[in-house]
Amino acid sequence: MALPNELDEEKITELKEVFAVHDPDGQGMVKASELGEMLTKLGLELFPEEVEDITFDIEKNAEGVFDYNEFEAIYIKVTKPQTEDDVMQAFKFFDKDKLGFIMADDLKNILMNIGEKMTEKEADELIKTADLNYDGKIDYMNFVGLMASELNS
């Protein structure tokens, strides 16, 4: 079994195949502008702003291209939140009105349609655990605490 920051052989093979499609000349480099399409091929649906942030960093630091190792690191970063702060930042991104909570239905939609998609059952179970007072509102701190315990297990 892979550790949280490691990928299994099947995923590595899939990443290499997607990378190779976007590196037809075998130069070992892909343009930052192709990252969004590559992640979509891997089943990830990031917001355009998220892809722009990543590609901006690539363009700023590496002349607008990235190699396979960087691609793998990007994939790990966008699929596996590593800290409570990462979870908190993601939560705040979806709390447009800055109320300190997300409605359970909105969170369910996010969990089922963005990033590594959950099944409806998985999303319902997570929301049931996170909605401590059963009001349909998922509080930042409850959710971050829950996700932190999941990340550490």
Model pLDDT for residues 22-73, shown as the tens digit of each residue = 999 999 999 988 999 999 999 887 778 888 888 887 766 667 888 999 999 8
Model pLDDT for residues 133-149, shown as the tens digit of each residue = 889 999 887 777 777 66
Rounded-to-integer distance, Cα 20 and Cα 54, Å: 20
Query: What is the sign of the dihedral through the CA atoms of 87, 31, 39 and 72?
Result: negative
Rounded-to-integer distance, Cα 35 and Cα 27, Å: 16
Structure tokens at 152: 């550490």
Cα dist. 37→33, 41, 42, 45, 46 in Å?
8, 6, 9, 10, 10
Rounded-to-integer distance, Cα 4 and Cα 147, Å: 14
